[in-house]
Structure 1
Amino acid sequence: MTLTKLRICTFNARSLSSQARFAEFQAEVDKIKHDVIGIAEVKRRGSGRLNLPNDAVLLYAGHDNKTAEGVGFYVSPHLKSRIAGFNAISPRVAEL
């Protein structure tokens, strides 16, 4: 796949810790032309990777013991195979 333009945007999710909030986020994402979305205020415990039903992937970093702060990346299905790594540095900083 040749990628000529990479569409990166940011999104303040205000929480992705519940199924309802995650569904709202997914509905908003469907309206955005994107390849990668940097997400603030993920508010999920720990760090991890979620493979989503729409074939996208969510990588996130949060606190181990509370649902506060947190950052993440939402990667489109066509780019997920190109993820070389994810480094959760802190609940405020991560690199993709």
Structure 2
Amino acid sequence: MAIFQCSTFNARTLASQVCIEDLMVQTRKIKHDVIGLTETRRHRPLHDTFKTKEEVFLGTCDSRGVGSVGILVTMHSATNIDSYGTSTTRIRRLRLRKRGSTPALTIFFAYPMGMRVAW
């Protein structure tokens, strides 16, 4: 059975194309099939395919400017994308098709609210 590598990355603001290209350079250092991106803080959603055949799905921040969740998919996994969905600005779902002996897979990425801790 193949090993599927799923990671998370705090992306901060991805408002411009330059920031997204910088993200692509940084994530090449991470061995992954899919990366969940937190704190994306975009005002417009984005779904883009890069020259490297990697795909990125970025959601929008909420009305308070609180960050959202995005997903970066490598070229090997991008060909197996079945669907992508959003429940809220902080929850994303990626569904991958069955490939060979690898079963279909649904991945949820959630970005939790900040927590207050009383000591």
Q: TM bucket by the smaller chain?
A: 0.7 to 0.9
Larger radius of gyration: 2
1 or 2 for the larger relative contact order (CA 8 Å, sep ≥6)? 1
Q: For the Cα contact (< 8 Å) 1:44–1:68, is it kept in 2?
A: no
Q: Secondary structure at the match of 2:76?
A: coil
Superposition deviation, residue 49 in structure 1: 1.4
Following TM superposition, the consecutive aligned residue runs of length 4 or more in structure 1 with deviations greater than 4 angstroms are 64-68
1:15 paired residue number: 13
Q: Is residue 2:83 matched to residue 1:85?
A: yes
Report the counterpart of residue 43 of structure 1 in structure 2: 41
Over residues 21-72 of structure 1, what are the superposed CA-to-partner deviations in whole Å (9 max), with x where a residue is unaligned? Answer: 2122111111111100000011222434111121100012214778641111
Equivalents in 2 of 1:66, 1:20: separation in Å? 24
Percent pairwise identity: 28
Residue 18 of structure 1 and its aligned partner are, at CA, apart by 1.4
Q: TM-score, normalised by structure 1?
A: 0.84
Unaligned runs of 5+ in 1: none
Runs (5+) with no aligned partner, structure 2: 95-119
CA distance in 2, matches of 1:22, 1:46: 14
RMSD: 2.0
Tell whether 2:69 aligns with 1:71. Answer: yes
Between the two proteins, the alignment pairs up a number of residues equal to: 94
Give the TM-score taking structure 2 as reference length.
0.69
